[in-house]
Amino acid sequence: MSMNKVPIPILVFVLLLLVGGYLLNAGGYVVVPAVGATPTPRGAKGWTGIVTNVGKNDAGDLHIDLTIRNDTEAWSAMQTDVGKPATLTTSDGKSTNCDTVFAGTGGTSLAPGFQMRGYTGGTKTATKIQLLYVECKGAVASSGSKLSIGYNYVTGDYDLHVPSVPVNDTMVLDLDQVAKDVKYPVATPVTGLIGKVGDKINAINSFTLTLTDAKRTATGLELHWQDYNPTDYPNYVHIGTPPVIGADGIIYGLYEDPAIADATIALSHGTGEWTTAVAIPKDVTGLYVLVSVETRQSKYFVSHVIDITDK
């Protein structure tokens, strides 16, 4: 008795169909990570902390002002370890916990090579500028003292469906090394990183997105956006409310998850136009827009930085 042999490629295809049918009937689904997601680069240094001032607060406690720089070689958001104090270690080996720690990006992903010293915190109805610093109650920073801060960060593109895996690290700062005249926000220029007003940015569904103008207002800045829809169906692109960072090193604009923000619909073979606003002091200059654009697939975001330093 003879049997016809089934070619292996056909057998594999049938098995895949059976497995797929089982998953669908079971009500499950498989999320396939998007191609091109940026992993943590090998050999990257993580984030670098810089001491810009060592003094005392109004209560007489040790106060240390900080700047943080993104040295991960990718877009990155950083925060300190929740509930974990920083540690001050003096030259004689004695350690003191520092319970007041503000060192992070406030949820915003910062461009590689950029540095900052504060961000917009609080709530939508009551925002506040949060500067970066550490305070150590009752401590004194003698010569040779060092400050250790535990933190974690994520890098690359943002995918709502595939959570990023945070990297844990510790920055150790020499309090004898106080930096003066730190320039913001670009610390290490990256070739091809920064775009300009009028540039077309590739977005989801073959859309292109353009920042067409940036105008000063009585309360800050108004950003004018336009997208073009080349398809046969109405659609939209999520970007949320992009923040900006200026020459004072502060991110202006409360972090908003772009995946759950509203979006303006563009009709078939047409354009959509809208504005976003961010509150900025009138004297802040040297501004850059930090925008996360929905790209490649739904709720997958690629970050871009746009130069508006002439505004």
CATH number, domain of 84, equals 2.60.40
Would residue 23 count as lying in a domain? Answer: no
Answer yes or no: do 100 and 211 share one domain.
no
N- to C-terminal Cα distance for the chain? 84
Answer yes or no: do 150 and 56 share one domain.
yes
Task: List the domain range (segments joined by +) for residue 78.
Answer: 47-174
Answer yes or no: do 154 and 69 share one domain.
yes
| Confidence at residue 44, expressed as pLDDT on a 0 to 100 scale | 57
* Nearest-10 Cα torsion for 255, 62, 182, 180: 170
| Confidence at residue 82, expressed as pLDDT on a 0 to 100 scale | 87
CA distance 291 to 82: 26
Would residue 283 count as lying in a domain? Answer: yes
Residue 184 tokens, joined: 């913001």
Give mean pLDDT in consecutive 10-residue pieces for the chain, a chain of 311 residues. Answer: 43 39 33 38 75 96 98 97 94 94 98 98 95 96 96 97 95 96 97 98 97 97 98 96 98 96 94 97 97 96 98 91
Would residue 6 count as lying in a domain? Answer: no
Last residue of a domain, one of 174, 207, 230: 174
CA distance 199 to 212: 8
CA distance 173 to 118: 18
Would residue 160 count as lying in a domain? Answer: yes
| Confidence at residue 17, expressed as pLDDT on a 0 to 100 scale | 38
Answer yes or no: do 219 and 129 share one domain.
no
How many structural domains is the chain composed of? 2
CA distance 159 to 17: 27
CA distance 138 to 165: 37
Residue 140 tokens, joined: 């004194």
Q: Got the DSSP string for 119-152? A: EEEE-SSSEEEEE-EEEETT----TT-EEEEEEE
Would residue 239 count as lying in a domain? Answer: yes
Would residue 11 count as lying in a domain? Answer: no
CA distance 209 to 201: 5
Answer yes or no: do 96 and 143 share one domain.
yes
CB 121 within 8 A of CB 102: no
Which one, of 178, 156, 139, 144, lies nearest residue 38 by Cα? 156
| Confidence at residue 146, expressed as pLDDT on a 0 to 100 scale | 97
CA distance 289 to 304: 8
CA distance 163 to 180: 38
Which one, of 232, 243, 233, lies nearest residue 277 by Cα? 243
Residue 4 tokens, joined: 């016809």
Answer yes or no: do 54 and 99 share one domain.
yes
Answer yes or no: do 62 and 106 share one domain.
yes
| Confidence at residue 45, expressed as pLDDT on a 0 to 100 scale | 85
**Alpha-carbon radius of gyration of the chain:** 24
The three-state secondary structure class of 9 is: helix
| Confidence at residue 6, expressed as pLDDT on a 0 to 100 scale | 41
Please classify residue 199 by burial: count the beta carbons closer than 10 Å to its beta carbon, then call 0-12 exposed, 13-18 middle and 19+ buried: middle
Last residue of a domain, one of 139, 174, 209: 174
Answer yes or no: do 202 and 302 share one domain.
yes
Last residue of a domain, one of 143, 174, 205: 174
